Structures are given as C-alpha cells and as structure tokens.
C-alpha cells in the first residue's frame, strides 16, 4: 500500500500526518503557523501530488498556496493572492472555505468556494483563480444571509461524468446546480425543511451544512443540514429525509465511501441549544443502505465530550478495500479508523481547533 497522507487544517496552521500502515503515523508541522486553514486539498490526478491550502492570515489576509513536494516548500501566486475579486465586484475575499480538484481527466481544473459566497475556477491546478460571475451575479445573491459560522460556499461537487454539471452548497442559501458548464444556476432544495423559518420551506435559503456524492451513482447525494439528513436520487432536484434511526438530525459533516455504493458517515449533534454529541459521547454513524438504516460507532472515541466536528473536519481516504475514516475536533484532537468506523484511535491531540481534514494515498 502507498502511504496515506492526512492534511489537518486548524485555526493556527496546517499539520501533515503520514503513515504506511494506518497504525503508526509521523507528523510534520506546523505550516502556516498563526494562519487559519479552513480549506485544504490533496490533488493526486495525473500521477502527481499537489497539496493546496487556503490560509487566512490576520495580517496578510486570505490566499491559496500549493506544494508539489509534500509540504517541504510552498508557493503562492506572485501577486500575493491567487483568489481575488475584480475591482468592479466591490467585495473582498474574507476566507477560502473550500478547495476542490475536479475529476480525473480534467486535471488542470480546481474549484474554490469563499466567504462571501462566491465560486472560483482555476485552470492551472490552483495557482490562479477567476470568479464564476454567473453565480456572483445571480439575482438571489443579495438575499443570501449568513449562518452562525458565516456566509460562504463550503461544498463544490463536480459531476464525474459530465463536465457541464456542477453542484454548490452554502450556508445559508442552500444547494444550487448548474447543467450548462456554470453559465447559469438553479436552486435545488425541494424537500429540505427549514424549521428555523416560519411557513413553508422556500425555494432557497436553506442552511445546508455539507453535501457528499455517492461512490458509484453520481445522481445519489447525501446532505447534512441545519435540521435533517437527506438523500437525493436525482442529482439534487429533490431530497428525501433519511435521519430516521439517528439520535439527532443536526450535525455538520457528511462523507460518502470512496468505492462502495450507498455508504456514508455523519457525526450527529443535539441542537440547537446544545450543539454537543448525544449523551456527551463523540460518535460517528454509518449507513450501508443509503440512509435506510444507521449504525453507531464510538469505540475509541471520547466520552464526557462537549466538542464539535465541523463540516470539513471529517473525511475518508482512497485506500482500496476498507476505507480509512478521519475526524478532527474543535478541541484539537484527530481520530482515525482503519476499519470504516468500527474502531477509532487518537492520532494527535492538543492542536488548535481542527477546521478541515483531507486524506489520500501518495507515493
């Protein structure tokens, strides 16, 4: 097996963990110390590994950096930022919330989501970005409102088989889908309830926390919302609740298995007044039947726990066979499972708040 690289972005920098067997790990860091790293990606397309980091400095502001030598050196765009609004937009990037390499075969394309809610496209593997003006100019944008954590695009899902199809999600605002190569956008929130708003659910304005795509059926999607876990069988056009059997319908992350269909994980929280795990026990729940049923996993995870797993602080690796699952917490711990969530081991503790984790096999 190739080594697994785990990138851990925190409120005060980036750490890189590496393992040949997913049992013993080396740790390197911090990189970007005192910068908030809310987005990172490990791009292994085309047989090359590039690390991408969205780091926000309180002095220099946000930017995107990359490394082609597994973090030994880092490069940023020559003008100091690879992601910047054009002057006539009358806006500035407050943070980079998402970095998403496109699919294999489109190995130059990287997408980014920012705060304020804007979508960006790079055609040079993340070195420079251009604003996707069709979404920025969408008539709904002036009425997108910030959630508790900000107003940002946090999910970008390219379609694996059709480069004209793209899905984004934001808090708040909801899910939007393009079927014409990002030339136009349609809200796609039918079936998602909005308990925090009076009346019937609106066309848009939902507080979607994260969306993930099924391993083998690109039209099957899973969404964790501010109140509700959902599945779509039609690429996001309609959504059905699948939180029956879960101890709570609130949470932030949802991740799908990289190879096996109908399999996904969530980390439930009691909301809204608590935002702590059920029974104060950090726990992960897995479905193997696309949400028809769920199974709890907490073996090796701490009890007496009041923390939170944020929307990008859970991920899976791409190891053939049993996928590794990784969870970072706001108290600075990272937990790993080499058996798809059955048992867990703490890899590191006492880091700053963990904002994002990403894992991939590297040479």
Residue 343 placed within a domain: no
- Structural domain includes residue 94: yes
In a domain? residue 149: yes
In DSSP terms, 110 is beta-bridged to: 101, 122
Give pLDDT, residue 1.
60
Token pair of 47, please? Answer: 């047989």
Instruction: Name the phi and psi angles at 282, rounded to 5.
Output: -60, 125
Domain span at residue 193? 32-315
Amino acid 197: pLDDT: 83
Closest CA to 355 of 57, 122, 19, 15: 15
- Asked if residue 338 is part of any domain, the answer here is no
- What was the pLDDT predicted at 79? 67
In a domain, 349, yes or no: no
Judge whether 359 lies within some domain. Answer: no
Question: For position 248, what pLDDT does the model report?
Answer: 97
pLDDT at position 235 is 97
Residue 147 has what pLDDT?
81
Phi, psi at residue 194, to the nearest 5°?
-135, 75
Specify the pairing of strand 221-225 against strand 229-232.
antiparallel
The model carries a pTM of: 0.96
Residue 250 falls within a domain, yes or no? yes
Residue 352 domain-assigned (yes or no):
no
Write the CATH number for 74.
2.130.10.10
Please give the pLDDT value at position 131.
Answer: 97
Intervals of the chain under pLDDT 50: none
The number of folded domains in the chain is: 1
């Amino acid at each position: 097996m190739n080594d697994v690289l785990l990138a851990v972005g925190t409120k005060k920098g980036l750490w890189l963990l590496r393992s040949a067997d997913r049992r013993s790990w080396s740790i390197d860091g911090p990189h970007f110390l005192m910068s908030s790293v809310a987005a990172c990606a490990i791009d292994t397309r085309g047989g090359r590994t590039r690390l991408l980091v969205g780091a926000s400095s309180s002095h220099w502001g946000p930017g995107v950096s990359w490394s082609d030598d597994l973090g030994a050196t880092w490069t940023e765009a020559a003008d100091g930022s690879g992601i910047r609004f054009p002057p006539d937009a009358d806006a500035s990037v407050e943070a980079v919330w998402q970095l998403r390499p496109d699919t294999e075969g489109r190995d130059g394309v990287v997408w980014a989501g920012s705060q304020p809610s804007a979508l960006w496209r790079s055609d040079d593997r993340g070195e420079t970005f251009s604003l996707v003006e069709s979404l920025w100019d969408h008539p709904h944008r002036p009425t997108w409102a910030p959630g508790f954590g900000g107003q940002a695009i946090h999910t970008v899902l390219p379609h694996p088989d059709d480069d004209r199809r793209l899905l984004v999600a934001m808090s708040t605002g909801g899910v939007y889908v393009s079927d014409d190569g990002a030339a136009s956008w349609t809200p796609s929130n039918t079936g998602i309830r909005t308990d925090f708003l009076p009346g019937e659910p609106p066309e848009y304005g939902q507080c979607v926390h994260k969306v993930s795509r099924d391993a083998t059926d690109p039209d099957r999607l899973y969404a964790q919302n501010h109140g509700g876990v959902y599945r779509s069988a039609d690429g996001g056009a309609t959504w059905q609740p699948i939180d029956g059997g879960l101890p709570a319908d609130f949470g932030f992350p949802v991740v799908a298995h990289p190879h096996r269909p109908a399999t996904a994980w969530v980390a439930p929280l009691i909301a809204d007044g608590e935002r702590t795990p059920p029974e104060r026990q950090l726990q992960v729940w897995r479905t193997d039947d696309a949400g028809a049923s769920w199974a709890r996993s907490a073996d090796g995870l701490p009890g007496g726990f009041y923390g939170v797993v944020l929307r990008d602080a859970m991920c899976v690796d791409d190891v053939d066979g049993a996928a590794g699952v990784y969870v970072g917490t706001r108290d600075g711990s990272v937990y790993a499972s080499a058996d798809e969530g059955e048992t867990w081991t703490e890899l590191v503790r006492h880091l700053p708040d963990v904002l994002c984790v990403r894992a991939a096999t590297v040479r």
